[in-house]
Structure 1
Amino acid sequence: MPDLLLELFSEEIPARMQARAAEDLRKLVTDALVDAGLVYEAARAFVTPRRLTLNVTGVPARSPDSREERKGPRVGAPEQALAGFLKAAGLASIDQATVQSDPKKGDFYVAVLEKPGRDAKDVIAEIVPDVIRRFPWPKSMRWGSGWLRWVRPLQSILCVFGPETEDTDVVEFEVDGIRSGRSTRGHRFMAPETFEVRRFDDYVEKLENAFVVLDSARRMDIIRGDAGTLAFAQGLEVVEDEGLVAEVAGLVEWPTVLMGTFDPAFLAIPPEVVRLTIRANQKCFVLRDASTGELANRFLLVSNLVAEDGGAEIIAGNGRVIAARLSDARFFFDTDRRVKLEEQAKKLHNIIFHEKLGTQAERVERVARLARELAPLVGADPELAERAARLAKADLVTEMVGEFPELQGVMGRYYALDQGEDPQVADAIRDHYRPAGAGDEVPTAPVSMAVALADRLDMLAGFWAIDEKPTGSKDPYALRRAALGVIRTVLQNQLRLHLHSIFVMLAYRIESQISADEALAQAIDSTIATHGLSLSAELHERIADEISRTHQPNGRKTAASAADLLVFFADRLKVQLRDEGARHDLVDAVFALPGQDDLLMIVRRVEALAAFLDSEDGASLLTAYRRAANILRIEEKKDGRSHAGYPDQGAFAQDEERQLFTRIEEVGSEVEAALRVEDFAAAMAALARLRGPVDTFFEAVTVNAEDPALRDNRLRLLSQIRGSIDRVADFSRIESH
Structure 2
Amino acid sequence: MSSTVRNLLVELLVEELPPRSLQKLGDSFAQGLAASLQVQNLIEDGAPVVAFATPRRLAAHFGRVAPRSPDTSTPLRLMPSSIGLDTAAQATPALRKKLSDLGVDAADMPASHLRIMSDGKTEMLYLDRLIPGIPLAAGLQKALDAALAGLPIARTMTYQLADGWSSVDFVRPAHGLVALHGRDVVPVRALGLSAGRETQGHRFEARVSPIVLRDADSYADQLESEGRVIPGFAARRNEIVRQLDAVSAAPGSSPVRDAALLDEVTGLVELPNVLTGKFDDAFLDIPRECLILTMKTNQKYFPLLDAEGRLQPRFLIVSNIRPADPAEVVSGNERVLRARLADARFFFDHDRKKPLDAWRAGLDKVVYHNRLGTQAERVARIAAIAHAIAVELGDEELAAQARVAANLSKADLLTGMVGEFPELQGIMGRYYAWHDGQPDEIAYAIEDHYRPRFAGDALPRGPVGTCVALADKLETLVGMFGIGRIPTGDKDPYALRRHALGIGRILMEKGLRISLETLLGMARTAFAGAVPLDDAACTRLPDFIHERISGLLREQGYSFQQVDAVLASRPGLLNDIRARLEAVRAFTALPEAQSLAAANKRVGNILKKAGDEADATLTVDLLQQPAEHALQDTLNRIAPTVDHLIDLGEFNDALRQLAALREPVDAFFDQVMVNVPDPVLRANRLALLVRLQREMNRVADISRLAT
What CA deviation, in whole Å up to 9, does each residue of 1:522-573 have, x standing for no partner?
xxxxxxxxxxxxxxxxxxxxxxxxxxxxxxxx8xx63x44432111111111
8 A Cα contact 1:158 1:184, kept in partner: yes
Q: Which of residues 352, 372, 386 in structure 2 aligns to 1:337?
A: 352
Question: What is the match of residue 159 of structure 1?
Answer: 179
Match of 1:295 among 273, 292, 311: 311
CA contact (8 A) 2:20 2:263 kept: no
1:417 aligns to what? 434
Q: 1:126 to 1:584 in 2, by over 3 A?
A: closer
Is 2:115–2:128's contact at 8 Å kept on the other side of the alignment? Answer: no
In structure 2, the residue matched to 1:501 is: 518
Using a 3 Å threshold, how does the CA distance of structure 1 residues 63 and 728 change in structure 2: closer, same or farther?
same
* Match runs of 1:331-730 below 5 Å: 331-379=346-394, 381-514=398-531, 558=535, 560-593=536-569, 596-629=571-604, 646=618, 652-654=624-626, 656-676=627-647, 678-697=649-668, 701=671, 703=673, 712=682, 721-730=692-701
CA distance, structure 2, for counterparts of residue 608 and residue 672 of structure 1: 15
Secondary structure of the structure 1 residue equivalent to 2:305: strand
CA deviation string 1:17-41 (max 9, x = no partner):
2112112212221121122123432
- Note if contact 1:645-1:719 (Cα within 8 Å) is conserved in structure 2: no
Please point out which of 20, 23, 34 is paired with 1:16: 20
1 CA distance for matches of 2:587 and 2:149? 60
Aligned residue among 58, 62, 68 for 1:62: 68
DSSP 3-state at the match of 2:160: coil
Residue 284 (structure 1) aligns with: 301
The counterpart of 1:50, out of the listed 49, 56, 65, is: 56
SS in 2 for 1:513: coil
**TM-score normalised to structure 1 length:** 0.84
Correspondence 1:240-259 to 2 at 5 A: 240-259=257-276
Q: Aligned partners of 2:538 and 2:191: how far apart in 1?
A: 59
Give 1:482 deviation, angstroms. Answer: 0.7
Asked whether the 8 Å contact 1:465–1:507 carries over to 2, the reply is no
Aligned-pair CA distance for 1:330:
0.7
Alpha-carbon contact 2:628-2:672 (below 8 Å) kept: no
- Give the C-alpha shift of residue 274 in structure 1: 1.1
- Asked whether the equivalents of residues 608 and 684 of structure 1 are also in contact (C-alpha less than 8 Å), the reply is yes
Residue 705 of structure 1: how far off its partner (Å): 10
SS of structure 1 residue aligned to 2:329: helix
Q: Contact 2:430–2:447 at 8 Å: present in 1 too? A: yes
Q: 1:133·1:148 contact (CA, 8 Å) conserved in 2? A: no
Deviation of residue 692 (structure 1)? 3.0
Q: Which amino acid aligns with 2:544?
A: F
Q: Aligned pair in 2 of structure 1 residues 156, 619: CA closer, same or farther (>3 Å)?
A: same
Specify the code of the residue in structure 2 equivalent to 1:364.
V
Question: Retained in 1: the 8 A contact 2:116–2:125?
Answer: yes
The 8 Å contact of residues 629 and 722 in structure 1, kept in 2 or not, is answered as yes
1:633 CA displacement: 6.7
Residue segments in structure 2 that go unaligned for 5+ positions in a row? 85-93
Q: What SS does the aligned partner of 2:575 have?
A: helix
Between 274-283 and 664-673, report the one with greater CA deviation.
Answer: 664-673
Query: Residue 476 of structure 1: SS of its match in structure 2?
Result: coil
Give unmatched runs, 5+ long, in structure 1. Answer: 78-82, 163-167, 516-553
Letter in 1 for 2:132: P
Once the two structures are superposed, the pairs formed by residues 36-185 of structure 1 within 5 Å of their partners are: 36-40=40-44, 41-71=47-77, 91=102, 112-129=128-145, 131-132=147-148, 135-145=151-161, 146-162=166-182, 168-185=183-200
C-alpha distance in structure 2 between counterparts of 1:298 and 1:194, whole Å: 39
Q: Relative to structure 1, is the Cα distance of residues 704 and 428 closer, same or farther in structure 2, using a 3 angstrom cutoff?
A: closer
**2:178 is matched by which residue type in structure 1?**
L
Q: Which moved more, 1:336-345 or 1:172-181?
A: 172-181
Instruction: Tell me, yes or no, if structure 1 residue 28 matches structure 2 residue 32.
Output: yes
Give the letter for the 2:671 counterpart.
V
Alpha-carbon separation, structure 2, partners of 1:325 and 1:247:
20
Q: In 2, distance between residues paired with 1:687 and 1:297?
A: 65
Partners in 2 of 1:428 and 1:710 — Cα distance?
A: 60
Question: Could you tell which deviates more after superposition, 344-353 or 456-465?
Answer: 456-465
Moved more, 721-730 or 495-504: 721-730
1:528 is matched with none
Structure 1 counterpart of 2:224: 208
- Contact 1:703 1:715 (8 Å CA) reproduced: no
Which stretch shifts more, 701-710 or 429-438? 701-710
Choose 458-467 or 713-722, whichever is displaced more. Answer: 713-722
Query: 1:644–1:719: 8 Å Cα contact kept in structure 2?
Result: no
- Any conservation in 1 of the 2:306–2:312 contact (CA below 8 Å)? yes
Q: 3-state SS of the aligned residue for 1:599? A: coil
**CA–CA separation in structure 1 for the residues paired with 2:143 and 2:331:** 48
Q: 1:188 to 1:662 in 2, by over 3 A?
A: same
Summarize the Cα distance change of 1:574–1:176 in structure 2 as closer, same or farther, 3 Å threshold.
closer
**Percent same amino acid at aligned positions?**
37
> In 2, distance between residues paired with 1:294 and 1:100?
82
Q: C-alpha separation between the residues in 2 aligned to 1:721 and 1:160?
A: 75
Does the 8 A contact of 2:604 with 2:693 survive in 1? Answer: yes
Q: What CA deviation, in whole Å up to 9, does each residue of 1:482-516 have, x standing for no partner? A: 1111111122211111221231342243141125x
- State the shift of 1:220 in Å: 1.7
Q: How many positions carry a matched residue from both structures?
A: 675
In 2: Cα distance, 1:584 partner to 1:657 partner: 34
Which is further off, 685-694 or 441-450?
685-694
Q: Secondary structure at the match of 2:195?
A: strand
The alpha-carbon deviation at position 412 of structure 1 amounts to 0.9
Q: Secondary structure at the match of 2:384?
A: helix
CA distance in 1 between counterparts of 2:437 and 2:127 reads 88
3-state SS of 1:494 partner = coil
Highest RCO, 1 vs 2 (Cα 8 Å, sep ≥ 6): 2
Native 8 Å contact 2:388 2:522 kept in 1: no
Assess if the C-alpha contact under 8 Å between 1:284 and 1:301 holds in 2.
yes
What SS class does the counterpart of residue 530 from structure 2 fall into? Answer: helix
Check whether the contact 2:634–2:664 (CA below 8 A) recurs between aligned residues.
yes
Higher mean C-alpha deviation, range 456-465 or range 579-588 = 579-588
CA shift digits 1:218-258 (9 cap, x unpaired): 22222222222222223322122222111111111110011
* Kept in 2: contact 1:262–1:323 (CA 8 A): yes
| Amino acid in structure 1 at the alignment position of 2:61 | N
Residue 364 of structure 1, CA deviation: 0.6
Tell me if structure 1 keeps the 8 A contact 2:116–2:123.
yes
Q: Which residue of 1 aligns with 2:247?
A: 230
Query: 1: CA distance between counterparts of 2:300 and 2:118?
Result: 73
Check whether the contact 2:184–2:215 (CA below 8 A) recurs between aligned residues. no
1:261 shift after superposition: 1.2
Q: Does 1:264 align with 2:281?
A: yes
Answer whether contact 2:460 2:469 (CA < 8 A) is retained.
yes
Do structure 1's residue 328 and structure 2's residue 348 form an aligned pair? no
Q: Which residue does the alignment assign to 2:88? A: none
Distance 2:389 2:700 in 1: 29
Helix, strand or coil for the counterpart of 2:73? strand
The residue type equivalent to 1:339 in the other structure is K
Offset, 1:394: 0.6
Distance in 1 (CA, whole Å) between partners of 2:537 and 2:160 is 57
